[in-house]
């Protein structure tokens, strides 16, 4: 990494790599820490002489947890409820205290052409005639990875051009829903039976990692940099349908 950074002398470095297996992280804490925290330490160390470089750390809405559905702003205090979220919060702190120009960009519930993203998994179950069991007590912002990637580029350039030393931003599509709300909308727009969606409670899954009741982000800081909110998640999901179908 040091060699590549020296050779390329980049103006902006975006770290989107990460250990993202939320449940597995509960039992593989050290492996997850290496990828999600130590890697960030290594990157900022490799960049320490490049005072003009902007370091962009991609983070997650899982650094938060709220017991009510409310819009979480960039400056709100983090309170993760699982290992993955704690490590992402730790990585944010490492980046922001590195002395480098830094942008932390949090996103959430990504969907696109990945066969493992939530809507692709739901769509596969619907096609196979299975019931789609999805939590009705877990809220977030489903976000189209194409929109988020464009937002990361826009934010990075704007931060780089500004005289700001650091900033935290949220890059999510507008609006929010529950996991079962996402599944129901997907069924509707893809011509599948909405009745195949079975809303349930998070507690019924017995997954290793606790999930936040709500971690809904709002993107006020992006607006301060002159950007408008990203389009609504349900509109973006319609555009993503062909990519989701190809991913199956
Ligand atoms: N997916 C979501 O809903 C979501 C939500 C909020 C935030 N995020 C954040 O968005 C970023 C991307 O997430 P994603 O869902 O797109 O993840 P992903 O599909 O699992 O991709 C993660 C990438 O990180 C690379 N990687 C993992 N461990 C590595 C290591 N030790 N060294 C180098 N590269 C490593 C992987 O490389 P290989 O392909 O070679 O394994 C892969 O390309 C992460 O920072 C994640 O925390 C994701």
Q: How confident is the model at residue 1 (pLDDT cuts 50, 70, 90)?
A: confident
Class of residue 13 by CB neighbours under 10 A (exposed 0-12, middle 13-18, buried 19+): buried
Provide the token pair at 35: 């990828």
The pLDDT confidence band at residue 151, using thresholds 50, 70 and 90, is very high
**Beta-bridge partners for 177:** 140
Taking the CA of residue 58 as reference, the ligand 1 atom at the shortest distance is 45
Structure tokens at 193: 């039976």
Report the pLDDT averaged over residues 240-245: 96
pTM (two decimals): 0.97
Q: How far is the CA of 17 from the centre of ligand 1 (A)?
A: 4
Q: Smallest Cα–Cα separation from 104: which of 64, 146, 46?
A: 64
> What tokens appear for 212 in the block?
């936040």
Residue 107's nearest CA partner among 55, 157, 145, 139 is 145
Q: Which pLDDT belongs to residue 8? A: 86
* pLDDT at residue 9, rounded to an integer: 86
| Per-residue pLDDT tens digits for 197-218 | 999 999 999 899 999 999 999 9
pLDDT at 248 over 90: no
Q: Whose CA is nearest to atom 39 of ligand 1?
A: 17
Over residues 52-79, the mean pLDDT reads 97
Tell me: pLDDT of 2 over 90. no
User: Can 84 be counted among the known catalytic residues?
Assistant: yes
Give the β-pairing of 230-232 and 173-174: parallel
For ligand 1, the distance from its centroid to the CA atom of residue 35, given in whole angstroms, is 9
In this structure, are residues 90 and 224 in contact, taking their beta carbons and an 8 Å threshold?
no
- Ligand 1 centre to CA of 119 (Å) is 18
Q: Tokens in use for 4?
A: 């590549």
- Write down the mean pLDDT value for the chain: 96
Closest CA to 16 of 144, 101, 140, 103: 103
- Cα separation, 129 vs 73, in Å, equals 39
What is the bridge-based pairing of β-strands 12-15 and 101-107? unpaired
Indicate if the pLDDT at residue 156 is higher than 90. yes
- Substitution candidate for ligand 1 out of 19, 20, 107 with most atoms within 8 A of CB: 20
């Amino acid at each position: 990494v040091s060699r590549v950074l020296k050779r390329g002398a980049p103006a902006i470095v975006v770290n989107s790599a990460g250990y993202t297996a939320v449940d597995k992280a509960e039992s593989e804490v050290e492996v997850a820490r290496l990828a999600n925290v130590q890697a960030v330490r290594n990157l900022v160390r490799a960049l320490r002489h490049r005072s003009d470089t902007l370091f962009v750390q991609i983070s997650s809405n899982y650094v938060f947890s709220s017991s009510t559905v409310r819009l979480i702003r960039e400056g709100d205090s983090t309170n993760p409820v699982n290992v993955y979220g704690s490590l992402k919060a730790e990585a944010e702190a490492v980046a922001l205290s590195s002395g480098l120009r830094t942008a932390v960009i949090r996103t959430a519930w990504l969907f696109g052409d990945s066969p493992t993203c939530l809507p692709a998994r739901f769509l596969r179950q619907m096609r196979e005639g299975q019931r789609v069991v999805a939590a009705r007590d877990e809220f977030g912002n489903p976000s189209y990875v194409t929109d988020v990637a464009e937002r990361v580029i826009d934010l990075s350039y704007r931060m780089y051009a500004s005289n700001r030393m650091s900033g935290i931003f949220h890059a999510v599509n507008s609006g929010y829903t529950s996991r079962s709300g996402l599944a129901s909308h997907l069924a509707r727009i893809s011509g599948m039976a909405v009745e195949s969606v079975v809303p349930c409670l998070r507690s019924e899954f017995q997954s290793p990692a606790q999930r936040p009741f709500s971690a809904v982000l709002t993107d006020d800081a992006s607006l301060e940099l002159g950007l408008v909110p990203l389009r609504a998640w349900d509109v973006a999901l319609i555009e993503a349908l062909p990519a989701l179908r190809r991913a199956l």
